[in-house]
Amino acid sequence: MAAGEVCPIAKLETILLASDGSEFSEGAVREAIRFAKNCSSRLYVVSVVETNPALEAYGPDVVEKMEKKTREIVEEIRGRAQDEGISCEILSRRGEDTYKYIVEEAGKLNADIIVMGRRGRRGIKRLMMGSVTALVVGNAPCDVFVVPRTAELSCEKILIATDGSEHSKKAVTEAISIAKRCGSTVMAISVVSKEDELPEAEVNLKTVKEIGRKEGIEVEPIAVTGTPYEAIINTAQVKNADLIVVGTHGRTGLKKFLIGSVAERVIASAHCVVMVAR
């Protein structure tokens, strides 16, 4: 989201930025500050010192050093926000299950969005994202923006992934709303595994086009066969999208605490920001 651009979200009063201070969080920090500046939002930064009873008992010095480092990180973020004229409040937590603290704080604040990186200090294997990010996305009470380290959100070109499910309908609504505010170019993709399923994809896309038409937004339909996450990622790259919007999960559903495999793999491999609509 370029400086000086209109706020892309109609109601964006409260932003929760989750950061562990790693290099992978840099994109999230940058975009959260831009969101707050362009939307006149309240910015909160939550950082969790991940510890456990054994470490607390036998390594208190280690925990103390971790807390000191965390304080330095969040203070640096607050300083960057204040340089942009943004009020920023720090939320420091300590304990196990980092994602629970992030989700809990989002609920307490009634946050409109959570902004976070797709991986943390522990790194990831190919085609997997950090477990904290996956668990936050799967359990968050609000929309989540997952920002790769070098990605920048301009909202110039938006790619909506749809399979006709209720969750993807929420993604369509959110994406069209952003496009209307920002004057974005909008594309919608529906991926099926076999050629004889293409008519179903075309029906899904027709619905998206109609929703866009009612809001004065032209939507380019893209119906393809293949592996869903690969087709979505490749299309985003070819079309130079800077935002992919997906639902938490599709027709296959999900188990508790897990997001759908398509959304998870898109987040893990996309070159751009991914918004997970809830």
Q: What is the pLDDT of residues 205-231, one digit of tens each?
A: 999 999 999 999 999 999 999 999 999
CB 122 within 8 A of CB 20: no
Six token digits for residue 188 = 């919608």
Q: Where are the beta strands (DSSP E) in 117-209?
A: 143-146, 157-161, 185-192
The pLDDT assigned to 238 comes to 98
Q: Measure the CA dihedral 195/196/202/205, to 10°.
A: -70
In this structure, are strands 14-18 and 113-116 parallel, antiparallel, or unpaired? parallel
Residue closest to 131 by CA, chosen among 1, 260, 257:
257
**Architecture category of domain 14-146 in CATH:** 3-Layer(aba) Sandwich (3.40)
CA–centroid distance for 131 within its chain: 14
> Could you give the CA distance from residue 98 to residue 261 in angstroms, rounded to a whole number?
21
The pLDDT assigned to 136 comes to 93
Six token digits for residue 87 = 């009020």
Say how many Å lie between the first and final Cα of the chain, rounded.
Answer: 21
> Could you give the CA distance from residue 275 to residue 35 in angstroms, rounded to a whole number?
14
Question: 91-145 pLDDT, tens per residue?
Answer: 999 888 899 999 999 999 999 999 999 875 544 333 334 688 889 998 999 999 9
**Architecture category of domain 157-277 in CATH:** 3-Layer(aba) Sandwich (3.40)
Length of the chain in terms of residues written: 278
Q: Where are the beta strands (DSSP E) in 96-234?
A: 113-116, 143-146, 157-161, 185-192, 219-225
The pLDDT assigned to 189 comes to 97
What are the start and end residues of each CATH 3.40.50.620 domain in the chain? Answer: 14-146, 157-277
Residue closest to 137 by CA, chosen among 228, 41, 28:
28
DSSP state of 63: H
- Average pLDDT of adjacent 10-residue blocks, the chain of 278 residues: 73 94 89 97 94 80 86 94 96 91 97 89 43 89 96 96 90 97 97 94 96 98 95 98 87 40 88 95
